[in-house]
Amino acid sequence: MEEVKNVPRHVAIIMDGNGRWAKARKMPRSYGHIQGAKTVEQICEDAYNMGIEYLTVYAFSTENWSRPDDEVSQLMTLLRNYMKTCIQRASKNNMKVRVIGDKTRLDDDIQKSIADLEEATKDYTGLKFTIAINYGSRDEIRRAVTDIAGKVKEGIIDPSDIDEEMISDALDTSGYPDPDLLVRTCGELRISNFLLWQISYSEIYVTDVAWPDFDKEQLRLACEAYAKRTRRFGKVLEEE
Ligand code: FPP
């Protein structure tokens, strides 16, 4: 495979289309999610081999609780199993795992597995892999504002101290760079409450390929499209 130049440092992915992929095969939606979880495992390895340093995926949104009960419980089972088996794979691949979102609504055993996984991988220096679970960007911003307001109330900071850096630091993604590239699979042109603050200047790439079919070649195409973009960050470049 040709080497991709100017690889994005941080790629965020809205993994959409598991349900449609399964339906097209006359299979239950849960089958699409199971295949989607396998894709996650493979893409982590491919991303790192390609030179991507940070990968963030949207696994379960704050809105996903309103799906039918059996689908929610199947997704939770999948995530529960993933958290347990991920420790071994992460140590093999030197992968540091972090979970963002409001974990307090998750079952106690899942919260415990997440804490174990984050602790076991915290010093790994390979791919920084972030999984968004019970994540909603508006909820994340609300929690950050509550946190900052509490500090103001206690007199630790003054309202005039609040700058963009302080807000970034109060978000679940604190310490990580903003995504350079946001990928959405299965064709929809929306952000779905994902990383609203962090993607202010991210390049967006949408593919019609459903998540279970997203592979190394698809990732390479997304990175190549990114490499051709000119990022202006709101400025006019000298050559323009
Ligand atoms: C969107 O497809 C996908 C989800 C809501 C869940 C994403 C979860 C996984 C890929 C598997 C578990 C993740 C990890 C990290 C192990 P959809 O169901 O909305 O598909 P549709 O739009 O075609 O109905």
State CA 15 to chain mean position distance. Answer: 9
Active site residues: 16, 64
Instruction: Determine the pLDDT at residue 2.
Output: 56
Q: Which amino acid is at 120?
A: A
Measured CA to CA, the distance from residue 102 to residue 135 in angstroms comes to: 6
Residue with tokens 């992968």: 95
Atom of ligand 1 nearest to the CA of 32: 18
Atom of ligand 1 nearest to the CA of 133: 15
Measured CA to CA, the distance from residue 44 to residue 60 in angstroms comes to: 18
3-56 pLDDT, tens digit per residue, is: 778 999 999 999 999 999 999 999 999 999 999 999 999 999 999 999 999 999
What phi, psi does 209 have (nearest 5°)? -65, 130
Instruction: Determine the pLDDT at residue 227.
Output: 94
What's the 64 CA to ligand 1 centre distance in angstroms? 10
Instruction: Determine the pLDDT at residue 209.
Output: 98
Measured CA to CA, the distance from residue 126 to residue 50 in angstroms comes to: 12
143-155 pLDDT, tens digit per residue, is: 999 999 999 999 9
Measured CA to CA, the distance from residue 43 to residue 110 in angstroms comes to: 23
Residue with tokens 């609203």: 196
Q: Does pLDDT of 1 surpass 70? A: no
pTM for the structure as a whole: 0.96
What's the 215 CA to ligand 1 centre distance in angstroms? 15
Average pLDDT over residues 157-165: 98
What's the 79 CA to ligand 1 centre distance in angstroms? 11
Instruction: Determine the pLDDT at residue 169.
Output: 98
Helix (H) or strand (E) holding 13: strand 10-14
